[in-house]
C-alpha cells in the first residue's frame, strides 16, 4: 500500500485524476483545504488536498512504469491542475494500524504547517507599522543615534503623534522636547534646610563613583554653601578605602568616621550631631549579593537617611544599567546620580536609565576632578542635546 497526495480545485477534479492514475480501488484517506507549498503561494487561494491510499499493482499508471512509481514525479494529467507527490511507505508489511498512525502523523504535521503558514500570512498581511511624519522620523533617528533605547524612542514618538493629531499646528520638535522634559522630571538634588540635620546614604556597586561623588558633594556643600558636613564610611570590605577618603577629608577639614561593624554606626552618627549634612558611603558589593542587601537594610534602619542616592555609570550598557537598578530596587526611594558622563559621547543612557528606574535624577558627574565634576542634572540641556 502506498500513499499519495493530490492537489485539485475540488473533490470532483481530484477523484477524476485519482481514478485514472490509481484505479478504482484507490481510497481517499482524508482531504482538507490548504495552500500550495512555497513562499510565493502563501497568499494564494486555498486548494483541496487529498491523501489517497492505493495498491501499486492495481494502479494503471503505476503498472505502466513498472514499480518505479515511488521515485517518480507524476505530472498532473487533467485540466483540474491536480498534482501528486509521492509518499513512500515504510518497508514494514502493510496493515491498517500502521497506515492509520502514519496518516495521523501526516495530518498533525499538515495542520501544524498550515497553522504556521496562516500565522505568517496574517503577519505579512498585517497593517504596516505606523509611520511617522518626516519631522518626527528624523527626531526618532536622532534619539537612537544618541543611544536612546529603541523602544523608548518609539514610545515618545507615538505619544508625540497623538499630541500632534489633536493639535496640528505644533512642531514635532517642541512636542518631543516637552515629552523628554516630562520623562526626566524635575531633578531633586540634596537640599539642606537650616537647623535640620540631614543624612544622605549613597549606594551602588563597586567602582561606579560613590566615594568620589560623596567627596565632590561634601566639598561643594562645605566650600560653596558653607555647610558643616561629615562623611562616614561603612565600606568594611575594601582595604585602603579609608585612606583614599582620609586624604580628601583632611584637605577639606571635614570630619570623617569609619565604621567597621554596623553596630558602631549609630554612635558615629551621634558623634557628628553638630553637622548639617552627613554623607554615608557604602561598600559596593556585587549587585544582588544577599549579605550586601542585609547590610544596606541595616544601615537604612540605623541611619534613617532623609535622602538616598544610587550611583549608576552612564558609560556602560543598558543591560548593565538595568541590572544595577534592579539590584537596588529593594532599598526604596533613591534618586539617581549618573556618573562618568565624560566617558561617553552619547546622552541616551541618561534618558534610558531615568525611564527604566522611574526615579528622579539628582546629579551627573563628568570627571575625576574634586569638587568640580558634579552638577545637578540639566533636563533642558539634555533634551536639547538628544534632539540636535
Q: Which residues bind Mg ion (CB under 5 A)?
A: 210-211
| Least distance between ligand GDP and beta carbon 368 (Å) | 4
- Rounded CA separation 106/299 (Å): 65
Q: For ligand GDP, which is the closer residue by CB, 54 or 248?
A: 248
Chain CA centroid to CA 306, Å: 33
Q: Are 149 and 353 in contact (CB under 8 A)?
A: no
Question: Using CA atoms, how far apart are residues 377 and 388, in angstroms rounded to an integer?
Answer: 18
Q: How many CB atoms lie within 10 A of CB 35?
A: 19
Distance CA 51, CA 29 (A): 5
What's the gap between Cα 199 and its chain centre?
35
Residue nearer to ligand GDP on the CB measure, 177 or 373: 373
Following DSSP, what letter does each residue of 224-288 receive, concatenated?
HS---EEEEE---S-TTHHHHHHHHHHHHT--EEE-SSGGGHHHHHHHTTT-SEEEEE-----TT
Report the partner that residue 352 touches, choosing among ligand GDP, Mg ion, none (CB closer than 5 to 8 A by kind): none
By beta-carbon proximity to Mg ion, the closer residue of 47 and 374 is 374
Task: Select the binding partner of residue 295 from Mg ion, ligand GDP, none (C-beta < 5 to 8 A, by kind).
Answer: none
Q: Cβ of residue 235: shortest distance to Mg ion, in angstroms?
A: 6
Residue 198's binding partner, choosing from ligand GDP, Mg ion, none, with beta-carbon cut-off 5 to 8 A by kind?
none
Q: How far is the CB of 299 from Mg ion (least distance, A)?
A: 14
Report residue 95 CA to chain centroid gap: 54
146 versus 213: smaller Cβ distance to ligand GDP: 213
206's contact among Mg ion, ligand GDP, none, with CB below 5 to 8 A by partner kind, is ligand GDP
Nearest CA-CA partner of 341 in 322, 324, 321: 321
For the bound state, the minimum distance from the C-beta of residue 213 to Mg ion, rounded and expressed in Å, comes to 9
As measured in angstroms, the least distance from the Cβ of 287 to ligand GDP is 12
- What single-letter DSSP state applies at residue 204? -
User: For residues 47 and 208, which CB has a smaller minimum distance to ligand GDP in the complex?
Assistant: 208
User: Is the separation of the CB atoms in 365 and 213 below 8 Å?
Assistant: yes
| Residue in the structure block whose three cell numbers are 505568517 | 120
Give the distance from CA 285 to its chain's centroid.
Answer: 25
State the minimum distance, in angstroms, from the CB of residue 131 to Mg ion: 49
Q: Is residue 4 within 8 Å of residue 30, measured between CB atoms?
A: no
Select from ligand GDP, Mg ion, none the partner in contact with residue 212, using the beta carbon and a kind-dependent cut-off of 5 to 8 Å. ligand GDP
Nearer residue to ligand GDP within complex by CB, 155 or 366:
366
Cβ at position 386, least distance to Mg ion in Å:
30
Round to whole Å and give the CA distance between 312 and 274: 31
Work out what residue 371 binds among Mg ion, ligand GDP, none; the CB cut-off runs from 5 to 8 Å by kind. none
Binding partner of residue 342 among Mg ion, ligand GDP, none, CB cut-off 5 to 8 Å per kind: ligand GDP
Radius of gyration in angstroms for the set of CA atoms belonging to the chain, rounded to a whole number: 36
Closest residue to bound Mg ion by CB: 211
Tell me whether residue 103 or residue 366 sits nearer to ligand GDP (CB atom).
366
What does the binding site for ligand GDP look like in residue numbers (CB under 6 A)?
204, 206-212, 284, 311, 339-340, 342-343, 365-368, 373
Q: Toward ligand GDP, which CB reaches closer, 34 or 213?
A: 213
Number of residues in the chain: 388
Smallest gap, in angstroms, from Cβ of residue 324 to ligand GDP? 11
**Which of the choices Mg ion, ligand GDP, none does residue 41 contact, using the CB cut-off of 5 to 8 A by kind?**
none
Q: Report, in Å, the least distance between residue 288 CB and ligand GDP.
A: 16
Write the CB contacts of 74 (distance below 8 Å, at least 6 apart in sequence).
4, 21, 61, 83, 84, 86
How would you list the strands of the sheet with 2-8, edge to edge? 27-34, 47-54, 2-8, 83-87
Give CA–CA dist 91/188, Å, rounded.
79
Which CB sits closer to ligand GDP, 74 or 365? 365
Residue 325 binding result from ligand GDP, Mg ion, none, given CB thresholds of 5 to 8 Å by partner type:
none
Amino acid at each position: 500500500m502506498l500513499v499519495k497526495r493530490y492537489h485539485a480545485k475540488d473533490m470532483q477534479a481530484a477523484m477524476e485524476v485519482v481514478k485514472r492514475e490509481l484505479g478504482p480501488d484507490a481510497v481517499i484517506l482524508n482531504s482538507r483545504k490548504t495552500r500550495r507549498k512555497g513562499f510565493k503561494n502563501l497568499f494564494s487561494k486555498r486548494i483541496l488536498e487529498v491523501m489517497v491510499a492505493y495498491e501499486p499493482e492495481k494502479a494503471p499508471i503505476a503498472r505502466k512504469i513498472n514499480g518505479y512509481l515511488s521515485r517518480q514525479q507524476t505530472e498532473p494529467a487533467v485540466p483540474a491542475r491536480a498534482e501528486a507527490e509521492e509518499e513512500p511507505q515504510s518497508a514494514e508489511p502493510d496493515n491498517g494500524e500502521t497506515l492509520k498512525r502514519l496518516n495521523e502523523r501526516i495530518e498533525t504535521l499538515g495542520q501544524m504547517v498550515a497553522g504556521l503558514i496562516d500565522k505568517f500570512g496574517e503577519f505579512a498581511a498585517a497593517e504596516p507599522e505606523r509611520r511617522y511624519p518626516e519631522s518626527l522620523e528624523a527626531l526618532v533617528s536622532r534619539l537612537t543615534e544618541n543611544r536612546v533605547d529603541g523602544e523608548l524612542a518609539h514610545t515618545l514618538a507615538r505619544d508625540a503623534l497623538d499630541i500632534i493629531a489633536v493639535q496640528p499646528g505644533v512642531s514635532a520638535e517642541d512636542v518631543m522636547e516637552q515629552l523628554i522634559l516630562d520623562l526626566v522630571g524635575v531633578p531633586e538634588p540634596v537640599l539642606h534646610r537650616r537647623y535640620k540635620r540631614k543624612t544622605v546614604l549613597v549606594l551602588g556597586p563597586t567602582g561606579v563613583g560613590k566615594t568620589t561623588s560623596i567627596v565632590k558633594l561634601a566639598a561643594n556643600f562645605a566650600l560653596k554653601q558653607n555647610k558643616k558636613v561629615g562623611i562616614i564610611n561603612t565600606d568594611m570590605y575594601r582595604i585602603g578605602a579609608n585612606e583614599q577618603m582620609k586624604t580628601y577629608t583632611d584637605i577639606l577639614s571635614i570630619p570623617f568616621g569609619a565604621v567597621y561593624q554596623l553596630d558602631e554606626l549609630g554612635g558615629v552618627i551621634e558623634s557628628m550631631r553638630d553637622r548639617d549634612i552627613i554623607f554615608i558611603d557604602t561598600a559596593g558589593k556585587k549587585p544582588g549579593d544577599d549579605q550586601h542587601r542585609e547590610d544596606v537594610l541595616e544601615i537604612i534602619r540605623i541611619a534613617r537617611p532623609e535622602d538616598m542616592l544610587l550611583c549608576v555609570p552612564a558609560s556602560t550598557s543598558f543591560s548593565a544599567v538595568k541590572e544595577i537598578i534592579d539590584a537596588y530596587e529593594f532599598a526604596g526611594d533613591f534618586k539617581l546620580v549618573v556618573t562618568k558622563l565624560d566617558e561617553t559621547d552619547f546622552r541616551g543612557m541618561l534618558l534610558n536609565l531615568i525611564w527604566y528606574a522611574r526615579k528622579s535624577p539628582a546629579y551627573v558627574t563628568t570627571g575625576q576632578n574634586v569638587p568640580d565634576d558634579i552638577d545637578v542634572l540639566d533636563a533642558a540641556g539634555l533634551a536639547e542635546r538628544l534632539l540636535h
